[in-house]
Structure 1
Amino acid sequence: MKYLIVGLGNIGPEYQDTRHNIGFSVLDAFAEASNAVFEDMRYGAVAEVKLKGRSLVLLKPNTYMNLSGKAVSYWMQREKIALENVLVIVDDLALPFGTLRLRGQGSDGGHNGLKNINLILGTDNYARLRFGIGNVFSKGYQIDYVLGTWHEDEQKHLPAMLHRCEEIIVSFVLQGLGKTMTMFNGKVITE
């Protein structure tokens, strides 16, 4: 059985370690923990991880955030991965920092990456792991905040949050969406 685990972000050194690129950071941590290496391929950097008889295709799209749907659609078709086996990891301004929320469907919440995936796939009926980045910015500075790097007090919590994301991915693959939502939703890491 195959799964597509997509971490959203933007390519280029200027976006590395920004809040908007947390999807890339999660997949980097997961790949490192699994001794997997990303390879530049069509529409993204891809790594493969084996997990108890299952195959996970990790995808960091290189299409830039606003065109993420093209990469997701291509890799779903290429690897013949069903929609219910897709998990997209994305930053979320609406959630406080330290909050991780897994959902089986839902609106794009104003996130351009999800908006494009919904458009290209023609549905919002796929799992997404929302990584709360908070919204501690002055009016008119949303873009600067999202594309900014983590504050020092946030950085100390990132390793634990990345580890929790790894646990959620493993649980999603081995136990399914419903059980994983029950186990992990509502637990804040930074407390």
Structure 2
Amino acid sequence: MNKFLLIGLGNIGAEYELTRHNIGFDVLDTFAGKHSVSFRSDRLADVAEIRWKGKIFICVKPTTYMNLSGKAVKYWMDKEKIGIENILVIVDDLALPLEKIRLRGSGSDAGHNGLKSIQEHLGTDNFPKLRFGIGNNFPKGRQVDFVLGKWTSDEWPLVVKKVNSCVELIETYSQVGIDQTMNLYNKLTFSL
């Protein structure tokens, strides 16, 4: 049976719920909800296990805070004996417009502290990432406020649509692999 480790990046605590930086958590919550599975508190993370079409998905929301995400990723990769090619990190991306998502098999941390931590713990940036575009609509010097801010009511319907597409992307990725999935999703532009 093929096993995948899905890592949604975010920060724990009510003040971070539904913020741009927590989109990784939101995607995994939606994925688990679709499959009627709940998260449980476990070592370094909230974890859910989903079985679907002959695949096992270990869904991990690190409870280490963003800057130490790599610690949880490394622990769960080792514990579940999942190879780096079968992990998928779901992360917010300032460099992508809100209308886009991008799946890549490797790539730099692009200044994202969660990805930086994972790269440090794994010793490589050669692992699959699903980047969820959040745009960069903020005044100079206000990046942190923007990233840690909640979605606006104008953005929210598009965010929900994209989150649901990310759930479909995860399922597609597990069935046909990364190359075909990139071809299907990376050129999409989302709109209402």
TM-score higher than 0.5 here? yes
Alignment of 1:13-162 (within 5 A): 13-162=14-163
Runs (4+) of structure 1 exceeding 4 A deviation are: none
* Cα shift at 1:159: 1.8
Q: 3-state DSSP class of the match of 1:152?
A: coil
Per-residue CA deviations over 1:40-97 (Å, capped at 9, x if unaligned) read 0001000000011110000000000000000000000000001000000000000000
Residue of structure 2 in register with 1:166 after alignment: 167
Instruction: Give the number of aligned pairs.
Output: 191
Distance 1:31 1:173 in 2: 15
Distance 1:9 1:42 in 2: 16
User: Which TM-score applies when normalising by structure 1?
Assistant: 0.98
* Cα shift at 1:122: 0.1
- The runs of 5 or more residues in structure 1 that have no matched partner are none
* Cα shift at 1:172: 1.0
- The runs of 5 or more residues in structure 2 that have no matched partner are none
Distance 2:81 2:191 in 1: 38
Q: Which amino acid aligns with 2:189?
A: V
Q: Which amino acid aligns with 2:185?
A: F
Identical positions, percent = 54
Residue of structure 1 in register with 2:182 after alignment: 181
* Cα shift at 1:152: 1.2
Q: Which amino acid aligns with 1:17?
A: L
User: Which TM-score applies when normalising by structure 2?
Assistant: 0.98
